[in-house]
Amino acid sequence: MGFDEVRERCGVVALYQPESSGDRLDRLAYYGLLALQHRGQDSAGIVVALDGRLFRHRGTGLVQDVFDESALNAAHATAAVGHVRYATAGGTGESNIQPLLGSTRAGHRFALAHNGNLLAVDDADDLAGRRHVDRTGEADADTPVLVRALSDQDGDTLAAMLAVLPRVSGAFSLAVATPDGLLAARDPNGFRPLCLGRLPGGGWITASETTALDAVGAAFLREVEPGELLSIGPHGVLSHRFASPAPSTCIFEYVYFARPDSMLNGRRVQQVRQAMGAALAHDAPAAADVVVPTPDTARPAALGYAAASGIPYAEALIRNTYVGRSFIMPADGERRHAVDLKLNAIPETVEGRRVVLIDDSVVRANTARAVVTKLRRAGAAEVHLRVASSPLRWPCFFGVDISTKHDLAARARSVPEVGQLIGADSIGYLSLEAMKRAIGGGRTCDGCFTGTYPLPLPLPLTTTATAGR
């Protein structure tokens, strides 16, 4: 995919420890968010529970931009919840920066962080197509609607979540801090990941990916199950079932979003991506001299392709890590400089050689076209693009920013036509069947590849996709 990124909704982390523990939960939450930075770079926030109260610090930008020493000063916090965000629903204003604060009618306060995308709470079809507009005129995100639904409930936060979550449709992995503990929940389909770990000092952590557990020295215990709500506090960890599970993990987590060192459904993502690359070598072989990855997420697939094909692997594209996703875009007449600033080719690796360029996915094809052009300028004799996933032809409604089918290069084009659009000598994709074999089986959500989704879509969306299996 290179820099033609599809953006994932968010990352969440939450921690609880007994008061006797000496660990600094605000700092551990900070470390956890750093490990989840790839899941969201628009904003970040942390809420800590201290002396029966909730304190919040949040802001726009990267985690290291939002927090400094003065913001991390809750030495005796018993609970913390953190969030990094991409704005796939709602605006990027401060009102939508999570965690969000709420209170039940009985006065039980909570801080909620959400990864996913809600379709409806009861019959609130505005979540699907007609967003609220707040006082600033900015479109409201879906998460505040969930917070309002919880705030309308009597009793404590656990009772509120048990009452509301069965009425919610869509993708949600939730991390919630209360003054005396944590709550964590995952939608019945388990679209987005959520895991549980044990802190060295005796506390608990839940996070979007196991890399956040590694960052704080926690031991991985298990994944939060689809349709499960955990309550964590002085009583330990209690499990509550609010819906029957119908697992449909997002297949794009394996393709692109999750860090390669994360574990998903018992498989290391790095190994899955290498298996996809090896399968791609069988599905779409190429006569070539060198296998080159598009940095950074395509490296495991390229290693797998090289090993299975016998074609040598080499790095020929170097990424400028100091040019972030929010850098100032060149003017309309200088769009190619966007890629020139972020990627540079090594001519000695490709000059006069037939190159197999490996990417994890192709979305709009703008960047793929620019990268192929860059390799040709560096002297490549041929450029054969191989994609370690199937053609993206449909939008996503469950937390991935694939918002419209009209932006997708493969939507109305055949595979050879996509290759012509990009300017490659040839193009090949991995079959969906091979993708699923690499993952290890099990039911997945692959609606962005097939147009068939695990959940019925509200009426505003049914004109763009089919629903159900």
3-state SS, residue 395: coil
CA distance 129 to 25: 38
Determine phi and psi for 161, rounding to 5 degrees.
Answer: -70, -40
User: Cα(83)–Cα(13) distance, rounded to whole angstroms?
Assistant: 7
Give the closest residue to 44 by CA, choosing from 96, 106, 107, 111: 96
Compute the distance between CA of residue 260 and CA of residue 230 in angstroms, rounded to an integer. 27
Q: Are strands 10-16 and 204-207 parallel, antiparallel or unpaired?
A: antiparallel
Backbone phi, psi, residue 182, to 5°:
-130, 155
Distances from the Cα of 134 to the Cαs of 93, 150, 151, in angstroms?
A: 11, 19, 18
Taking Cα atoms as reference points, which of 39, 66, 24, 29 lies closest to residue 177?
A: 29
142 contact partners, CB below 8 Å, separation of at least 6? 89, 90, 114, 117, 118, 127, 170
Q: Which one is catalytic: 10, 250, 396, 448? A: 10
Read off the amino acid at residue 302. Answer: A
Cα distance between residue 292 and residue 313, in whole Å? 6
Q: Is 250 a catalytic residue?
A: no
- CB count within 10 Å of CB 421 equals 18
CA distance 437 to 390: 13
**Residues 6+ away with beta carbon under 8 Å from 426:** 286, 384, 385, 419
Give start and end residues of each alpha helix (H) in 114-193: 143-151, 157-164
Give Cβ neighbours of residue 58 (< 8 Å, ≥ 6 apart).
Answer: 43, 44, 45, 46, 66, 94, 97, 98, 99
Q: Catalytic residue numbers?
A: 10
